[in-house]
Structure 1
Amino acid sequence: MQTNGFSHAVVFDGKGGATNISFEQLDENINSNKLVWVHFDYSTPDTIDWLTNKSGIDQIAIEALLTKETRPRTTFLNDSILLALRGINLNPNSTPEDMISIRLFINKNIIISTKKRDLLSVRDILEYFKEGIGPKTSAEFLIELTNRLTIRMEDNINDIEERVSNLEEISVDSDNSELRAQISEIKRETISLKKYLSPQKEAMYKLYNQKVSWVSEYEKVQLREITDQLMRYIEELDSIKDKVSVIQENISQRLSEQMNQKMYVLSIISAVFLPLGFLTGLFGINVGGIPGAESKESFYIFIIVLIAIVGLQLYIFKKKRWL
Structure 2
Amino acid sequence: MDGTPKQPSDRAQHNGLIGVGAVLVFDGDGGMKRYEPSESLPVVPPRGFKLVVGNSKAPEFKLWLRGELGEFNSGLLTSPTSRARCTVMDDRALVMLRVVRPGAAPHDVGRQFLTLWIEQGRVIIASELNILDFLGMSKWEQPVHAPVSPADLIARLALRATDRLEPLIEMLGDRLDEVEETLITHRTEKAQDNLEHLRRTLINFRRLVWPQRDALTTLEIEDLSFFSDRDRLRLRDAAMRTARIGDELQALSERAVLVHEEIVDDRAEQMNRTMLLLAAVTVVFSPLTLISGMLGMNVSGIPLADSGGAFWIVCGILVVLASGLVWWMRKSHLF
TM more than 0.5: yes
Give 1:50's match in structure 2, choosing from 61, 64, 77. 64
Q: Which residue of 1 aligns with 2:222?
A: 210
Instruction: Identify unmatched segments of 5+ residues in structure 2.
Output: 1-11
- Superposed CA RMSD in Å reads 3.1
Q: Of residues 231, 236, 239 in structure 2, which corresponds to 1:219?
A: 231
Paired letter, 1:142: I
* Equivalent residue number for residue 36 of structure 2: 21
Q: TM-score, normalised by structure 1?
A: 0.83
CA deviation map 1:108-151 (0-9, x unaligned): 232222224446x8522423334452224323322222222233
Task: Tell me the equivalent position of 2:271.
Answer: 259
Matched, 1:63 2:75: yes
* Residue 131 to residue 170, structure 1, CA distance change in 2 (3 Å): farther
5+ residue gaps in structure 1? none
1:199 corresponding residue in structure 2: 211
Give the equivalent residue in structure 1 for 2:170: 158
Distance of 1:274 and 1:197 partners within structure 2: 62
Structure 2 residue matching 1:29: 3-state secondary structure: coil
Q: Which residue of 2 aligns with 1:84?
A: 96
Paired letter, 2:56: Y
| Cα distance in 2 between the residues matched to 1:283 and 1:101 | 83
Partner amino acid, structure 1, of 2:222 = Q
Q: Which residue of 1 aligns with 2:50?
A: 36
- The answer as to whether partners of 1:139 and 1:214 remain within 8 angstroms in 2 is no
Q: Who is 1:12 aligned against?
A: 25
Paired with 2:223 and 2:77, the residues of 1 have a C-alpha distance of 23
CA contact (8 A) 2:26 2:44 kept: no
* Contact 1:122-1:145 at 8 Å conserved across structures: no
How far is the alpha carbon of 1:302 from its aligned partner? 1.9
User: Once the two structures are aligned, what percentage of the paired residues are identical?
Assistant: 20
Q: Secondary structure at the match of 2:95?
A: strand
Q: Output the CA distance in 1 between the equivalents of 2:22 and 2:194.
A: 43
1:199-227 CA-partner distances (Å, limit 9, x unpaired): 11111111111121221111111111211
Q: Report the AA paired with residue 128 of structure 1.
A: K
Corresponding pairs, count: 315
Q: 1:134 to 1:284 in 2, by over 3 A?
A: same
What displacement does 1:256 show? 2.4
- Equivalent residue number for residue 228 of structure 1: 240
Q: Is the 8 A contact 2:106 2:171 kept in 1?
A: no
Distance in 1 (CA, whole Å) between partners of 2:316 and 2:104 is: 75
Whether the 8 Å contact between 2:20 and 2:64 is mirrored in structure 1 is no
Distance 1:95 1:45, change over 3 A: farther
Q: How does 1:155-304 map to 2 (within 5 A)?
A: 155-169=167-181, 171-284=183-296, 287-289=298-300, 291=302, 292-304=304-316
The alignment partner of 2:271 has SS state of helix
TM-score by length of 2: 0.80
Aligned to 1:123: 134
Equivalence for 2:4? none
Instruction: Give the C-alpha shift of residue 269 in structure 1.
Output: 1.6
- Following superposition, the deviation at residue 228 of structure 1 comes to 1.4
Whether the 8 Å CA contact 2:26–2:147 is kept in 1: the answer is no
